[in-house]
Amino acid sequence: MDIPDSLLTDRQVAVSQQVIESMVENISSPVETAALIKRLKVPFNKDYLVPTDAADHFNTSFSKAVGLGLYGTDLGYLNMYEKTSSVLSYISAVKSLADGIQVGQFFDFSTLKRLATNNENLDSLIYISQESYNKIDAYLRSTNRGSLSVVIISGVWIEGMYISTQVARLTKNKQIEETITDQKVVLATLIPMLRLYEKDANIQSLADRLEKLKGLYDRVKITYEQGEPVSKVVDGVLTFEQKDRQIVEASPEVVESIFAEIEALRSVLISNN
């Protein structure tokens, strides 16, 4: 049974659309992350993904929301590598979890399956998947179940980070490492949003684990170097674009600690459903 937000907090929960959108923009898109990994010519590895048979074990509203986020990210990875046969089984897992929290109506599963069998329609498949998640977020918040929306977003973020850590370990690629370390800005928003639902023990346990991760991220230094403005003409109008550079500094020990904590957190979410 889904618990209304009003019973999970002593305060009025009102997370604005702007806050949600801002956080989602800062989260590395599963598709963007997968595209970067593919550009590095890293081979596809199904072992990075949550097995589809685990979907049956996500048996509470909280765990179903977590699973929806995890599998949503896995779909992005599969889509980018055009793994048609696997995509179908992951779409089925998403359908099962979405139906379990009464949001299955926002997925056009027949269209998703049709597109998944035609790799030329990859962009359409990605677009529909993302649109479905946007509609789910809006619906959950409009029906006073915004807590589940934040949990889904958490699942998306954690799985994206997990896949990135596995590739970073394999390739030692600095760009992938920076993709992981510069995500400290997401935690600054994600944790307070989870803390709103103070009477939900599962959500607070997740927030506690993310606080532990944040403690490691606090040792990552992010600075910004101001660049020279670049002029260009757009539609006959002269415009200027500021070219600032983000600099991320973290010792190998800190990076490894972050990797290990992400792996541990993801393992807990899968095994404790």
pLDDT tens-digit readout, 147-202: 998 999 999 999 999 999 999 999 988 888 888 888 888 888 899 999 989 899 99
Nearest in space to 156 (alpha carbons), one of 245, 76, 239, 226: 76
pLDDT at position 163, please? 95
Alpha-carbon separation of residue 131 from 30, 150, 254 (angstroms): 14, 17, 36
Q: What is the DSSP string of 61-74?
A: HHHHHHHHHHHHHH
Is the model's pLDDT at 51 over the cut of 80?
yes
Confidence of residue 1 (pLDDT cuts 50, 70, 90): low
Q: By C-alpha distance, which of 6, 45, 48 is closest to 262?
A: 48
Confidence at 47, pLDDT banded by 50, 70, 90? very high
Give the residue with greater pLDDT, 120 vs 161.
161
Predicted local distance difference test score (pLDDT) of residue 77:
87
CA distance 153 to 137: 9
Strand partners, 7: none
Residue 237 lies in a domain: no
pLDDT band, residue 3 (cuts 50/70/90): low
| pLDDT at 10 (0 to 100) | 45
User: Does 95 reside within a domain?
Assistant: yes
Per the CB < 8 A criterion, the answer to whether 37 and 176 are in contact is: yes
The whole-number average pLDDT for the span 219-234 is 77
pLDDT at 84: 78
Q: Which residue has the higher pLDDT, 4 or 42?
A: 42
Average confidence score pLDDT of the chain? 82
CB burial string 110-121: b at 16+ within 10 A, e below: eebeebbeeeee
Q: Is residue 227 part of a domain?
A: no
Residue bearing the bigger pLDDT, 20 or 267: 267
Q: How many domains does the chain have?
A: 1
Task: Kindly tell me if the per-residue pLDDT of 116 is higher than 50.
Answer: yes
With 60 as the cut, is the pLDDT of residue 61 above it? yes
Is residue 232 situated within a structural domain? no
- Please, are residues 13 and 199 in contact by the beta-carbon 8 Å criterion? no
Is the residue at 233 inside a domain? no
Per-residue model confidence (pLDDT) at position 176: 87
For residue 12, the model assigns a pLDDT of 46
pTM of this prediction? Answer: 0.83
- Residue 155 domain-assigned? yes
Name 229's bridge partners.
242
State the amino acid at position 35 in one-letter form. Answer: A
pLDDT, residue 222, reads 79
Domain that holds residue 143: 5-220+251-271
49 band by pLDDT with thresholds 50, 70 and 90: very high
246 within domain boundaries? no
The predicted structure's pLDDT at residue 63: 96
Q: Is 92 contained in some domain? A: yes
Question: pLDDT tens-digit profile of 66-94?
Answer: 999 999 889 888 888 888 778 888 988 98
Report the range of poorest mean pLDDT among 25-39, 76-90, 112-126, 168-182. 112-126
Tell me the pLDDT band of 54, cut-offs 50, 70 and 90. Answer: very high
Task: Specify which of 43-47, 181-185, 225-229 reaches the highest per-range mean pLDDT.
Answer: 43-47
DSSP 92-125: HHHHHHHHHTT-GGG--HHHHHHHHT-GGGHHHH
Query: Within 10 A of 130 (CB to CB), how many other CB atoms are there?
Result: 16
Each residue's pLDDT tens digit, 4-22: 555 554 454 555 555 555 5
